[in-house]
Structure 1
Amino acid sequence: MAAPADPRRLCRLVQEGRLCALREELRAAGRAGCAGPARDTLLHCAARHGRREILAYLVEAWDLDIEAANRDYKRPLHEAASMGHRDCVRYLLGRGAAVDCLKKADWTPLMMACTRRNLEVVQDLVEHGANPLLKNKDGWNSFHIASREGDPLILQYLLAVCPAAWKTESKIGRTPLHTAAMHGCSEAVEVLLQRCQYEPDCRDKCGLTPFMDAIQCGHIDVARLLLEKHKACVSAEDSLGAQAIHRAAVTGQNEAVQFLVSELGINVDVRAASTHLTALHYAAKEGHVSTIQTLLSLGADINAKDERNRSALHLACAGQHAACVKFLLCSGLEDSLDMTGTLAQQLTRSPDVLQCFNHSATAEGVSRGKQ
């Protein structure tokens, strides 16, 4: 009886495209059905690496199952589509591969293809009956996935073959416009604004609008598009009452903060409706020293208090952000009692943060002595 072939060696031969060596190994072993650690067959490996000749050899000489699923329920067609290997996709489809097979999380080959900027593969799948309206477990259809990647040609094509593809939301209420805006896909946003009928301030389940997504991710060009062509509301609030400037402070997007205040005239001290937090509070909470600097340079009130009478210093101390605490103290913010009678310093657990207060007290004492 022939010794079984080493699956790792066989996969390497497939990966490198060494058909002659692979043929010899398989003849010696007498079988080609060995699976790798993720239960990948040699077909998975050939499809993943774009080895169309080897793919055909394995199917036609060894009758390997083109519908074999690995541990993630991926078929060879998923692999070829996800890597944009058109010749492998066409071969598998020509052999009758199921075009809408599902892998883990309910992804179809068309969804996988839409993660690549390869229009021809998308076209091949659709022309063989792939359904662009199917959704994965998160509620994303192929059009939504293509919006994240931002290829305008794929979006235009999907709208041409399936005009209703844009009318979709994820399970958390996000539209393709939210997704394209978040990822800074300006060309995709242009297509969506021209061809689709999204509400100017459509909201996801957290109350976020596409404009907020663009701002909090620092995509000012997309934010401008949404303002100019979609009449987005710059002061829209999320479900916690936070506006775009607060979201930008949370993510440390200094240019976006500058854009909102200097160009759009947003009040730098505007408060979130439910908490009365200002952008300065949010930046301090997240430990963004440069954002605090930006806000103060734009005229933010360093002494602003929230509904619980907490200053930015309280939030910086609660987050144990030593650099922020040091900067706020050096900028003249003094510790104060919140509504529970707690000083910011009392929220400190980190020796580095406590040291900031000690240095501040020492510096203040030296200053008084000089006077």
Structure 2
Amino acid sequence: MDVDNDVAYAFGDIGCWSERTEVHKAASLGQASQLQRLIDSGASVNVVSVDSITPLHEACVRGQAECVRLLLEAGALVDARNVDGSTPLCDACSAGSLECVRILLEHGAKANPALTSRTTSPLHEACMGGNVHCAELLIAVGACLEAYDLYYGTPLHMACVSERMDCVKVLLNAGAKVNATRLHQTALHHAAKTRQVEMIEMLVEFGANIYARDQHERKPVDYTKPGTAAADCLKFYENNPMSLQQLSRLSVRKSLGTSALKTVVHLDIPKALINFLCYK
């Protein structure tokens, strides 16, 4: 996009496109005192650079929590979008800054911003980076477990593609649909491709369909090399049906849905059974 160089940039303009400003720089570097001086002198906290990045985006992607707080208190738009459609919360989750995520949510950031063809959700970003504590916080405030990204699918798909075992477990325990598909590919297909045996075992324990076929009519085992641990693991599950005990656990979990963890701990049953139902 061409910018008319004859039009001067006004220091206090909100939303004006500019080169990267001193506010952007201070926010990115975590220079809280300098940022406060700029704010006090009238600098706009919502000025955007030519790629639509605000100072708040800069602070979040660098994990500069104090600058995030200063910007928001000065009126920064908490859900501003950059040229790719990402919000500051997406950037904070990608950076793995739990404190920035907390501050943004306290100031009303949307855990479920509308997705575009170029964006992923904050939960996708947390799972891509393996930032499990950010993922847990997002889930606690109602982040959609089935948010759908055009390129990856659900956050569970993203966690499996990125080989983030901790995030896979958090998502499954929270009630993410283990057999959700993108182009008929399930999370188990991705785990098989990356040959993650522990991940394969966990997905199957949560009810993954080992016979699911993708758009190429291939099962998860078809993406493994014969004789490898991943292939042997999937072949074992194909040849050995689930126990009645496991089927019962899956049935209980399915009936409780996303409220399973909150509900199970209050059941009047032995602690061992509670731990079993919670996959502890």
- Identify the TM-score tier after normalising by the shorter chain: 0.7 to 0.9
Q: CA deviation at 1:22?
A: 2.4
Q: Does 1:143 align with 2:156?
A: yes
1:151-162 alignment, distance < 5 Å: 151-162=164-175
Q: CA deviation at 1:25?
A: 3.5
Identity among equivalent pairs (%): 23
The aligned counterpart of 1:4 is 11
The aligned counterpart of 1:307 is none
Q: CA deviation at 1:199?
A: 3.2
Give the whole-Å Cα distance in 2 for the aligned partners of 1:192 and 1:124: 22
CA contact (8 A) 2:115 2:149 kept: no
Q: Does 1:174 align with 2:182?
A: no
The aligned counterpart of 1:20 is 33
- SS in structure 1 of the partner of residue 224 of structure 2: helix
1:170-319 alignment, distance < 5 Å: 170=182, 172-200=183-211, 202-215=212-225, 220-231=228-239
- SS in structure 2 of the partner of residue 166 of structure 1: coil
- Out of 43, 57, 81, the position equivalent to 1:69 is 81
Give the whole-Å Cα distance in 1 for the aligned partners of 2:130 and 2:235: 28
1:193/1:90 CA distance change after superposition, 3 Å: same
The aligned counterpart of 2:136 is 123
Q: CA deviation at 1:103?
A: 4.2
Q: CA deviation at 1:137?
A: 2.4
Q: Does 1:165 align with 2:177?
A: yes
Q: Tell me: higher relative CO, structure 1 or 2? Use CA pairs within 8 A at least 6 residues apart.
A: 2
The aligned counterpart of 2:93 is 81
The aligned counterpart of 2:251 is none
Q: CA deviation at 1:102?
A: 3.0
Give the whole-Å Cα distance in 2 for the aligned partners of 1:155 and 1:199: 17
Residue type of the alignment partner of 1:183: T
- SS in structure 1 of the partner of residue 143 of structure 2: coil
TM-score by length of 2: 0.72
Give the whole-Å Cα distance in 1 for the aligned partners of 2:96 and 2:86: 15
Give the whole-Å Cα distance in 2 for the aligned partners of 1:17 and 1:140: 34
Q: CA deviation at 1:186?
A: 2.5
Structure 2 spans left out of the alignment, 5+ residues = 1-7, 13-18, 241-280
1:195/1:99 CA distance change after superposition, 3 Å: same
Structure 1 spans left out of the alignment, 5+ residues = 233-371
Cα RMSD for the two superposed structures: 2.6
The aligned counterpart of 1:288 is none
- Out of 91, 95, 111, the position equivalent to 2:103 is 91
Residue type of the alignment partner of 1:34: V
1:283-362 alignment, distance < 5 Å: none
1:179-225: CA deviation from partner (whole Å, max 9, x where unpaired): 1111232221121122224133x22111222122223xx99332232
Instruction: Indicate the structure (1 or 2) with the bigger Cα radius of gyration.
Output: 1
Residue type of the alignment partner of 1:126: I
1:5-47: CA deviation from partner (whole Å, max 9, x where unpaired): 9624433322221112223334445322221231010011111
1:19/1:103 CA distance change after superposition, 3 Å: farther
Higher-helix-fraction structure: 1
CA contact (8 A) 2:45 2:75 kept: no
Give the whole-Å Cα distance in 2 for the aligned partners of 1:107 and 1:156: 20
The aligned counterpart of 1:275 is none
1:28/1:2 CA distance change after superposition, 3 Å: farther
Q: How many residues are treated as equivalent by the alignment?
A: 226
Residue type of the alignment partner of 1:84: G
CA contact (8 A) 1:100 1:109 kept: yes
The aligned counterpart of 1:333 is none
